[in-house]
């Protein structure tokens, strides 16, 4: 059974800003993670969304280094 996850507006905006392309270099990766941490700290995204942001950014960085 699949569940549909509701995403916060901040999560969707973060995706739009930082994941417009599926590859991040080290500088844009750092900026994406800093913003993700700030959003979680301000409770604009849940911890689960923050984990997903980190994983998404990690995958994009790996693509850059390949």
**For residue range 24-43, what is the model confidence (pLDDT) as tens digits?**
999 999 999 999 999 999 99
Provide CB contacts within 8 A for 45, sequence distance 6+.
Answer: 8, 10, 11, 14, 36, 39, 53
Provide CB contacts within 8 A for 61, sequence distance 6+.
Answer: 24, 25, 26, 29
Higher pLDDT, 23 or 65: 23
Confidence of residue 6 (pLDDT cuts 50, 70, 90): confident
**Residues 24, 61: contact at Cβ < 8 Å?**
yes
**pTM (2 decimals)?**
0.85
Mean pLDDT of the chain: 91
Counts of helices then strands in the chain (DSSP H, E)? 3, 0
* pLDDT score for 66: 67
Residue 47 has pLDDT above 50, yes or no: yes
């Amino acid at each position: 059974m699949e569940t549909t996850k509701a995403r916060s507006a901040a999560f969707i905006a973060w995706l739009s800003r930082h994941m417009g392309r599926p590859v991040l270099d080290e500088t844009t990766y750092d900026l994406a993670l800093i913003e993700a941490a700030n959003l979680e700290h301000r409770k604009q995204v849940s911890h689960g969304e923050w984990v997903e942001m980190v994983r998404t950014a990690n995958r994009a960085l790996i693509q850059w280094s390949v």
